[in-house]
Structure 1
Amino acid sequence: MDRSELTSRLLPEMTLSSAQAKLTKPLPLPANLSPAERAAARFRISGVAVVTGGTGDLGSVACEALLEHGLNTLLVCDLQDPSSIGKMQALRSKYPSARIEFTNTDVTDEEQVTRALQGALSVLGGIDILLTFAGVASCDHAKDMPAKEWRRVFDINTTGSFLCAKAAANVMIQTGRGGSIIHVASISAHRVNFPQPQVAYNASKAAVLAMTKSLAAEWAVHGIRVNTISPGYMDTILNEGDGLQAARTIWNDRNPNGRMGSPEELCGAIILLASNAGRYITGADIVIDGGQTLF
């Protein structure tokens, strides 16, 4: 666009929902339920869930939690390797009554993402929940970081999350029943980590927070809630090994609880945001770090 044309441009405008809109109005629990039934119904998970990075240490635990709370249709989008195949077989064996599908998906490839999530519409009937666990960590001194590494981290963590959210939202809009999108940010989006330098990772996760707020505002009119969880240091294989022992000691010493988190400890927030219990929560971030970011 020529600069002389700037004054005549028109800005696109978002539309907000209304108090009585079907997809965003309150959804009370049925009055004829017992207290126990009401408690179970509040956090019941239903419909079709898509989990990217669903065979990783955190994603696989989240998949189990969804299934434990009633989910009967799950699509895992991840890169296929012997480990992912084994985890999928174990999941199907443990939950034989659920339909559990897997698709080999590179979240940085828009065509692959669109094909996988449109497939959820044609084969599974739609998408009601999206969790984006696919991501990479990166620790490098900023002065030595190649541009290629910076772009790789953003491409997977930020752009990949956006591509999945965009594809899922388009399916949710097509089916007209709304849904819940949960991105995985990090405490690294909130403050600088210590002692490891990781500028690209921190910036990519901060971008996920900002992106989530924008999507929550734009897509509320479609009944789509968009939120994030921000895990602290989690006790997974990514944080194991003798080379990380000094860092682990520092992380634990700076945590009010004195320890790293268990992947299971993310599940309460995930179930809240994925269920009707979180129906009025959008654009929010839940920090799950044992108090790590208090200091």
Structure 2
Amino acid sequence: MVERRPALTMLSHLILVLGVLIVAFPLYIAFVASTHTATEIVQAPMPMLPGSHFLDNYAAALFGNSGGGSKAPVGQMMWVSFVSAMVIAVGKIAISLLSAFAIVYFRFPARNFFFWAIFVTLMLPVEVRIGPTYQVVSDLKMLNSYAGLTVPLIASATATFLFRQFFLTIPDELVEASRIDGAGPLRFFRDVLLPLSKTSIAALFVIQFIYGWNQYLWPLLVTTDEQMYPVVIGIKRMISGGDAANDWNIIMATAMLAMIPPALVVVLMQRWFVKGLVDAEK
């Protein structure tokens, strides 16, 4: 029987509430700033309650009437980010599934060597690979394109490793039963492995979608056309350097809009995300 300790329970809840407040307070300030004019924001003290310019500021952000270094509409930038994140997430999962399937279920020379060669790429910092990768993308005329934003980021050693470890837990009896039923490799992959992997796929999709959405360094290098800016780069371009005044209300509205898609992905797929993480630990 578990002993109830009211004082300990209250303390744990207070700590959790404090943690939520610490995380939520900057978001609240950003939302409040997105509902005021730029002049009201820089006044001391800054308003702590929402203002009356919510519709004006968000309309200005969505339709591109913002100041700063970028006047591209946020809707266009969010579309670029969404397409890039979807292609990166789906591409990583598809390639990793096939790679792990080949490494686990096909017998060919040096298969373990190829797996560890893939795995070793985790030890290479992004900064080490980014120069040669940029040169290849530039030579292939892929700058300012969806291909340039996504193709170099599709390979995933982490996802390959996780799927390999999951496939190794599948009983050999299941493989033999499928073979006796006349299932070939592709049918076994489609009818057996994919259904068993759906929770792991969902968990990895959430992680990889957020990874693709939050990309900053790579898009900063390969995009110079405003129509190809992801929203993260668009926010950076809105902030003027030097003594130039920034429209912080529009910038904060853009930041709030940029948080909606990844937040929706997490909320809508939360059940599968948690189950996938739990299954991965078994």
Pairwise TM-score range, normalised by the shorter structure: under 0.3
Q: How high is the TM-score relative to the length of structure 1? A: 0.26
Larger radius of gyration: 2
Q: How high is the TM-score relative to the length of structure 2? A: 0.27
- Which protein has greater RCO, CA pairs closer than 8 Å, 6+ apart? 2
Structure number with higher helix proportion:
2
Structure number with higher strand proportion:
1
